[in-house]
Structure 1
Amino acid sequence: MDCTASALTDSDTALIRSALAEEAGWLRDINVGCSSVPENSIVEVDGKFFQNVHPQEHNVYDFSDWVSNHPGGPDKILQWTARGFILKYPASHPMRRWSSDIAKENIWSNFVGRFGDSMSFLSLPQTLQTFPLATAFGALESFDGFAEVCGSPGEVANDLQSGHQYSFHVSEDHLDTAFDVDYDTPAEVPDLGRASIWTMLAFEAPDQLRQRMAWALAQIFVVAPDDATARQTEMYVHFYDIFVRHAFGSFGDILREVTYSPVMGDYLTYKRNRAFDSDGAYPDENYAREIMQLFTIGLWRLNPDGSRMLDSEGSPIPTYSNEDIMNIARVFTGFDEQGARGNIEHVEGKVNSIDPMRLRAEWRDVYPKPDLLGGYLGDGYPLCMDQPAQGFLRQGAKYHFVGHAHDGNEVLVLTADSALYKALCGAGQVCSHQLMVELSETLTCTGAECQSTTARVVQVGDGYYEHLYEACVGLFFSEGEEVLLYPDGTIASNLTTKSRQNRFVARWVPTIPDLSSCPAGCTAGSEVCACAASLAVQDGMHVVTAGGFTFQNPPVFMDREHPRKRDAAFEVEALLHHLVHYPNVPIFVSYRIIQRFVTSNPTPEYVLAVSNAFQTGEYNGYTYSGKYGDLAATIAAVLLFSEARSQTSTSNGALREPYLKIIHFMRSMEYQEEKDRPIVLGNLINTIGQYPYASPTVFNFYMPEFRPDGFPEGLVAPEFQIYTAPNALAFANGMHSLINQGLSNCDDGFGVYVGDCSAGTTTFAEKSDMSEALAELDLLLTGGRLEANKGNVQAAFKRDGWKDAQKVMILTPEFNTLGSPLPEGVRPPSPPPTFGATSSYKAVVMLMLKGGMDSFQMLVPLNCPLYDEYRGVRKSIAFLPEEMHQISSAAQSCSEFGIHPKLPVLKELYDEGSVAFITDVGSLVEPLTPDMIGKGFHAKGGSGETCQGLFSHNDQQRAAETLTCQYATAEFKGAGGRIADAVAAGSEKFNTMSFSLKGSATWPQGFDIPGEVLGQNSGGGNSAFPEYTRLQDIVNNITGTRHGNVYCEEYAKRLEQAISFNIGLEKQLENAELATDYEVKGYQPLRSQFKNAATLIAARVERQAERDFFFIEDGGWDHHKGVENALAGKFESLSEALAEFVAELKAQNVYDSVVIATHSDFARTLTPNSNAGTDHGWAGIQVVLSGAIKGGEIYNAFPHLAEDSPMDAGRGRLIPRYPLENMMVPLAEWMGMEPAQRSQVFPNLANFNSTHLLEKQTLFRP
């Protein structure tokens, strides 16, 4: 080998030599920022030569998971390895395959060590701890003793006589086999097992309030099965049991168990999350964001009565910034699942989805973490250096037996004459180990103990004990250590190459200094100063003075040289304690529990009373635990406060949850399953909008702040978010099927297929006397609140007896809501819509890619400096040019671009001239640059006004749908709805309709034009209501009654509108025919929505439509983990759906009359995270498709992608140069918006000039 040093720049050579000198051994891992170091470059250090090789060269991995999850199946690999062949990485394969998310998840995460390293057998991955390997390496020892084995909480032996058997999966030869598939029912649907368990507990459990509280808590701490775990039962039931166990316990205990749950670790993608030092990627931010926004403190600081706290300018005060999210993400590094054990359900691709996750110290971030209130995690903890020496020998010291082997290296070996040895071993000749030992007295040291100030693990004969030392912290900076000072006030240690890359916020004393120039005595670098640290104690605070400036010496739990799992656990606990005790938490939790039990809009007095109970553990003179976070006291206050006992105002109450209404009816009417089998309801999430273990997102079934369109100002009604027209009629149909024939799937029933249309029926004794029947139904189904509708139920009873009375009862506002109905007579009927003569037809289809689409993987600049920036910032997820569909652009500085390989339809239509890409757009109030925005990018944080709740899914989805992101509500309605209002009211008076094809949505909702909601059945989206014809007069009486209670009134109006709209739509679609063989099989929501839009377009003449607005939504774009594979799957489905829809539009000869445009919450960070995913970004790229546009072009200058580029707000979160109005204004003008209407349709338009907007004639053909 040629050992001649390569010709590098002096600065690069110096950086590399310095970094290499800090390490030892023949294989040295360093990470330095050089200008140009080619592969295989050689550098000489002290006579030794080191060659630059791939960062993972000489790494050893366990490939077991890769074999199990190989895309071609395990047999493709095992057929060769079983015969002794050695597999080599083919030279023809690009290195990006090694960097793909499949490899990162299944190979990288199973890193064993570096070639030549020595390690403990117990530190090997679980799959390598086999008997043959243990025998080969002498790792087996015989001993007489015990090992600690932990089962699941509350685990009991199986009792075959008790029934209630459910689907359970076991592993056998890499196969996933389901046992008890029919679990005592004829349904044989294994993915319904967990929900059936929930239903049976709701029917039979003796602790109904506990079960009900658990249901409420599960709607705060939300998880849901993914495709890979759709049929699993135990892992999700075990997770849900956290809420059952702690329903009346401590909120902090729930947060802790949720955080350590492998189910949550998978769902919010922080399992196997790693520190930047571990692999050069930023930690995944997913859980850090949601634990704050959704589980504990919310987005805004709150006053004690639940109102938002305002700053001096009247703006809400945020609870955290994006910088805080990045800091807290570093706390959630190092989590990994436990090893496999017996008696748990097998989950393919996972080892253990039951037991709490373990912490892997080698993956942990070891740097200081600022908290949310101006301090650091660790403030207030004792310093480790102040702890009494040899605390491990003191009275009260606790020891935990960890087994007969140990995988660590900090072991103190005790001698047999040691007092500590005897205390842990016992009096016998052979040690009698105990699981836990607490020293009853202070012991005298012996031998090596006397030279040790601390002891982490001690060896006692053939056993090992961990000293359960108390939490303490160290100080990050030491005397004389060089501190790096940055102009933005952040600091870092100059100790190692790794520490230099980990900047964090300094707490300056008294305030942040001017660091624009380097202080005297410091060494100036590129935008940084290196200054020696001088330590002192000032007013009780440990401080550092560097360059004449002073800041707090941050506390740290983790030792940089010797990171330990116990210290990592202390740091996690410090964060959880900080979050649980944040001032918002009692109010946040109280408000949500009140909403689930009593009323959607509790008064400030009610919130304050419940919050006080949460904090004190007491209510109304009774002490529960007397501790902070007491949920028993909380629920007592929720149910016993005067407002809960007497709901008489117009805003008291709520719309009831649909699944609970079904359970309520079945329990009250004494439903009985045939043969005493468990009750199985089908998955109703797409029928009524709710089902156990089936929340569509981490945001639950509905948002706590959801406000129906037209609802009184200042009031919310969360459950109405899923009470759409299709869901309302589906609920009525399912309940009528249940009443008619029992539980089944016949006649749109809620059950599953059972062959004879009845798995069971209600057994409550029918009443022949009308007054007795009415009294029973009123008491059992409305709690005696039936008022204006008594006559309607009586009329139904007279018509066809008991069953009709039940059918009418379940349609009444009294059954469907809480609160006093307050009837006020008859509501005047709404006038039917009138349409003029029709002329030309145009439509816009808004495709919302919900979750935050990574659009910088959709369109990539190629073969130019921008591509170099792309490769540099996207790292392992970057595409090679030859992997993409290549296109050209005449308007960009880079003439060649690539479209994602799974989007062939965009390539075809771009070349055809009917697709355009709109780059560098996002939600804006006004033009911004990084120096105009404040910390966290919140409104008025700097000199520029920004969107409310930036980087929050629900806020930025609302921002994209409204184009008024400075407001936290949709008070200006949706952008599509406002355009619809304008074209309907303009000089042409176009006949205009607006539709949402995926549930409640803001975008299609106007002030005058309503956003009609259609179902996802692929026949036009209309929903039938068969019983309406027979019960029409009674139903009309129910829906025609006006109520003073806002929930009753909204319910009645919505049911009336659902019935009338769907009757009209059914007639309009009778003769609608599609022009292609447009077939959608099974549950494919995106394709169904497009097909329904195509059907409505085909019926445009029958509907007398001139302008249509369609809102289509596709979820699942939030790829914090494995973005490469996940995005490929989403793009493939999207491409197929678009291809079908465009083909149908062309066949109908309307492709020139319809525009399809995309929106998303935001784009993603350009830098990937440690899970090979990307986190929440800002500016992105959108797509417009139509035969009417000047396609085949990329509009707006493509942005620079390098980290720290001019518009980078950190981690590659690009600030958009152009607002979404850039593309929406010309689209609105094409639809018929007139110049005088521009400011009304687009309220922020005055903040931008003509350079920020595309002209209509630029985007559209004449």
Structure 2
Amino acid sequence: MAACGGNKNDEENAAADSGPPPTKEAAARFLTQATYGPTSADIDQLAQVGYRRWLEQQMAKPQKLHRDYMTAAMNAAAAAGTNVTSSNFMESYWAQAITGDDQLRQRAAYVLSQIFVVSFVDSTLSNLPRGVADYYDTLGKHAFGNYRDLLEAITMHPMMGAYLTSLRNQKEDAKTGRVPDENYAREIMQLFSIGLYQLNADGTVKSGNPETYTHDDIAGLAKVFTGLSWYAGPNTADRTRNRFFGGDVNADRDWKPMQGYNKYASNTDFHSATEKKFLGKTIAATDKPDVEGDIKIALDTLFNHPNVGPFLGRQIIQRMVTSNPSPAYVERVAAVFNNNGSGVRGDLGAVFRAVLLDAEARNVDTSRNDFGKLREPVMRLAHLLRTFHAKSTTGKFQGIDNTDDPANRLGQTAMRSPTVFNFYRPGFTPPNTSIEAADLVAPELQLANEVSVAGYLNYLRGWIAINTGRDVQVDFSAEQALADKPEQLLDRLDLLMMSGQMPATLRAQLLSAVNGRMIPPVRKDTAGKVVNQTDIDAATRDRVAIAVFLTMASPDYLTQK
């Protein structure tokens, strides 16, 4: 990402980009923001090469496709007379989250999946798991590319088309009173590009709360997204009326881009040919309707809107670093979106780099009450499984699957958002709290309630304390080797789980709890053979389990700083 360098904002605010290599604690904190969880090896590598080189290495790593896993699963299922489901995608998701070496891309894809939302909760998508896998791959593919390309890729993806009903969307009909479906036109503006209100460069709303668009803009843009349907192939004659409405199924239509059904065959004139006005842009009426051409104009218009940089940048910061970034932080990231230092607008690789290397991300006083974010449930589990080298007996990482239930799971599953608005809103503030009084937001707290808090602890205990009878199991062997040295054990957990930020009060509580589980003295028979090794192993594992569980249950851990 050489093109990401040279920006004045980088020089002034990314001091982490130069100077001595980071300490292990600083490396662990960076990896907590940029990956699914730090490992000892990751920390050592980052401390050796530094932030800049690590980012370059990560962005250069080839992408491993979830779609390939799903295609193989489909072939195996067909041979067995069964079908693939979303469970197969979750196997691939967790395998890559836990063991994948392209951690930055995987983490970035997850961030983008919470902005450009599609969901298995939708009945159509639940029956097309390979398509959803490819959509997730699409987010990963463009994570370090250009936002304009990403916007087009998600717009044309059949899973987005099915989810937000632009698939099979038809032009207006004055005789019947039919109007184009406005769903995607609304959400691409509200959620995927410019937001509801006009923003200053620093992400604050302009004086008077001026709206970015009106219903007339939605109606005009809705006409643009008419005439799209399933992939038919390169031959335009195959874009028939029957295929538009779902017949003549192409085997790869679940993941190949939607196509425009202009007037290529009899009765296939589905795209609006009338005038389209939106966001100050006018596409004139025509007798030669062009779906792809109109979409290009619309996406170019959105891409160049001044809101995009601060709107998108603030949400990426929230997902990775802190819920309440300063306006200056947002403005610096937005400036990189507008110009990556080489005159390129929309360089997402440069944006992710700016988010992670900004002075507010790297050098802030972590004791500040307004800094940090609540770790969302999926990221807590991922941290546990990756940091402690979870392994799969079958090699398929089975059994994690749907963790939606807040009573006995996480209350959250990747790619299973309940709505297009994600699991939580970026501006959510828990009512009647000190957070509200301080005029701050805490998006992830929208998932928290009495049921979900207890459910998380019970689910966590199953992974840590029991850890048997599962295909996926954590490996505490390195920690067990330190169980008879509690101070060293806590040093290790402090680094891996809290980036060296464990408060003295929490450490004292953990030390007391760990010491409360006695390790029996070694007993040997007359031949010198240890006869109580099983009891010793159980005690050392219990000590580790106690320390890890109480750490992950503590408010100090739950708040990522």
Alignment map for 1:836-875 (pairs within 5 Å): none
Q: Aligned-pair distance for 1:195?
A: 1.6
* Cα contact 1:181–1:190 (8 A) shared by 2: no
Q: Please give the root-mean-square deviation of Cα atoms over the aligned residues, in Å.
A: 2.7
Which amino acid in the other structure matches residue 356 of structure 1? P
Measure, in 1, the Cα distance between the counterparts of 2:66 and 2:167. 30
Cα shift readout 1:1190-1210 (whole Å, capped 9, x = no counterpart):
xxxxxxxxxxxxxxxxxxxxx
Distance 1:734 1:157, change over 3 A: closer
Measure, in 2, the Cα distance between the counterparts of 1:215 and 1:156. 14
Unaligned runs of 5+ in 2: 1-61, 235-245, 263-268, 518-542
1:484 maps to none
Distance 1:779 1:576, change over 3 A: same
Which amino acid in the other structure matches residue 348 of structure 2? L
Q: Aligned-pair distance for 1:628?
A: 0.3
Does residue 634 of structure 1 match 2:351?
Answer: yes
Q: Aligned-pair distance for 1:783?
A: 0.8
Does residue 271 of structure 1 match 2:167?
Answer: yes
Q: Aligned-pair distance for 1:591?
A: 0.4
Q: Secondary structure at the match of 1:702?
A: coil
Cα shift readout 1:608-634 (whole Å, capped 9, x = no counterpart):
00000111013xxxx5xx410011111
Q: Aligned-pair distance for 1:205?
A: 1.8
1:1023 maps to none
2:423 maps to 701
Alignment map for 1:127-276 (pairs within 5 Å): 167-168=73-74, 178=78, 190-225=85-120, 226-276=122-172
Q: Aligned-pair distance for 1:680?
A: 3.5
Distance 1:158 1:294, change over 3 A: closer
* Cα contact 2:91–2:396 (8 A) shared by 1: no
Measure, in 1, the Cα distance between the counterparts of 2:511 and 2:64. 51
1:1195 maps to none
Distance 1:587 1:295, change over 3 A: same
Which amino acid in the other structure matches residue 386 of structure 2? R
Does residue 809 of structure 1 match 2:551?
Answer: yes
204, 228, 237: which one pairs with 1:307?
204
* Cα contact 1:600–1:654 (8 A) shared by 2: yes
Q: Give the structure-1-normalised TM-score.
A: 0.34
| Percent of pairs with identical residues | 33
* Cα contact 1:169–1:232 (8 A) shared by 2: no
Distance 1:650 1:574, change over 3 A: same
Distance 1:275 1:630, change over 3 A: same
2:185 maps to 288
Measure, in 2, the Cα distance between the counterparts of 1:694 and 1:340. 30
Q: Aligned-pair distance for 1:307?
A: 0.9
* Cα contact 2:202–2:330 (8 A) shared by 1: yes
Q: Secondary structure at the match of 1:762?
A: coil
Measure, in 2, the Cα distance between the counterparts of 1:181 and 1:739. 36
* Cα contact 1:202–1:211 (8 A) shared by 2: yes
371, 384, 389: which one pairs with 2:278?
371
2:486 maps to 770
Q: Give the structure-2-normalised TM-score.
A: 0.74
Cα shift readout 1:267-307 (whole Å, capped 9, x = no counterpart):
11111111114864100010011000010011000111111
1:570 maps to 293
Q: Aligned-pair distance for 1:189?
A: 8.4
Measure, in 1, the Cα distance between the counterparts of 2:467 and 2:136. 29
1:559 maps to 286
Cα shift readout 1:206-228 (whole Å, capped 9, x = no counterpart):
21111111111111110012234
Cα shift readout 1:667-691 (whole Å, capped 9, x = no counterpart):
1122222243434413112232221
Measure, in 2, the Cα distance between the counterparts of 1:690 and 1:166. 27
Number of aligned positions between the proteins: 441
Measure, in 2, the Cα distance between the counterparts of 1:785 and 1:337. 51
Q: Aligned-pair distance for 1:360?
A: 1.2
Q: Comparing both chains, which one has the higher relative contact order based on Cα–Cα distances under 8 Å and sequence gaps of 6 or more?
A: 2
Measure, in 2, the Cα distance between the counterparts of 1:322 and 1:190. 38
Q: Aligned-pair distance for 1:758?
A: 6.0
Which amino acid in the other structure matches residue 559 of structure 1? T
1:940 maps to none
1:713 maps to 438
Which amino acid in the other structure matches residue 594 of structure 1? I
* Cα contact 1:742–1:758 (8 A) shared by 2: no
Distance 1:181 1:779, change over 3 A: farther
Cα shift readout 1:898-918 (whole Å, capped 9, x = no counterpart):
xxxxxxxxxxxxxxxxxxxxx
Distance 1:568 1:189, change over 3 A: closer
Measure, in 1, the Cα distance between the counterparts of 2:419 and 2:297. 28
Q: Aligned-pair distance for 1:164?
A: 8.9
Does residue 332 of structure 1 match 2:332?
Answer: no
Q: Aligned-pair distance for 1:583?
A: 1.0
Q: Aligned-pair distance for 1:197?
A: 0.9
* Cα contact 1:168–1:180 (8 A) shared by 2: no
Cα shift readout 1:642-690 (whole Å, capped 9, x = no counterpart):
1101332220100011111111111112222224343441311223222
Measure, in 2, the Cα distance between the counterparts of 1:337 and 1:763. 48
Measure, in 1, the Cα distance between the counterparts of 2:471 and 2:184. 44
* Cα contact 2:165–2:183 (8 A) shared by 1: yes
Does residue 782 of structure 1 match 2:492?
Answer: no
* Cα contact 1:213–1:247 (8 A) shared by 2: yes
* Cα contact 1:167–1:181 (8 A) shared by 2: no
Measure, in 2, the Cα distance between the counterparts of 1:804 and 1:293. 45
Distance 1:180 1:257, change over 3 A: farther
2:303 maps to 580
2:8 maps to none
Does residue 722 of structure 1 match 2:412?
Answer: no
1:736 maps to 461
Larger radius of gyration: 1
Q: Aligned-pair distance for 1:198?
A: 1.1
2:411 maps to 689
* Cα contact 2:128–2:254 (8 A) shared by 1: no
Measure, in 2, the Cα distance between the counterparts of 1:761 and 1:805. 14
After TM superposition, the runs of 4+ consecutive aligned structure 1 residues lying more than 4 A away are 153-159, 163-166, 177-182, 348-351
Measure, in 1, the Cα distance between the counterparts of 2:84 and 2:158. 25
Cα shift readout 1:935-954 (whole Å, capped 9, x = no counterpart):
xxxxxxxxxxxxxxxxxxxx
189, 204, 216: which one pairs with 1:323?
216
Cα shift readout 1:834-868 (whole Å, capped 9, x = no counterpart):
xxxxxxxxxxxxxxxxxxxxxxxxxxxxxxxxxxx
* Cα contact 1:617–1:632 (8 A) shared by 2: no
Q: Secondary structure at the match of 1:376?
A: strand
Measure, in 2, the Cα distance between the counterparts of 1:196 and 1:364. 39
Q: Aligned-pair distance for 1:339?
A: 2.5
Q: Secondary structure at the match of 1:305?
A: coil
Q: Secondary structure at the match of 2:391?
A: strand
Measure, in 2, the Cα distance between the counterparts of 1:217 and 1:157. 16
780, 788, 796: which one pairs with 2:513?
796
* Cα contact 2:355–2:361 (8 A) shared by 1: yes
Alignment map for 1:1034-1045 (pairs within 5 Å): none
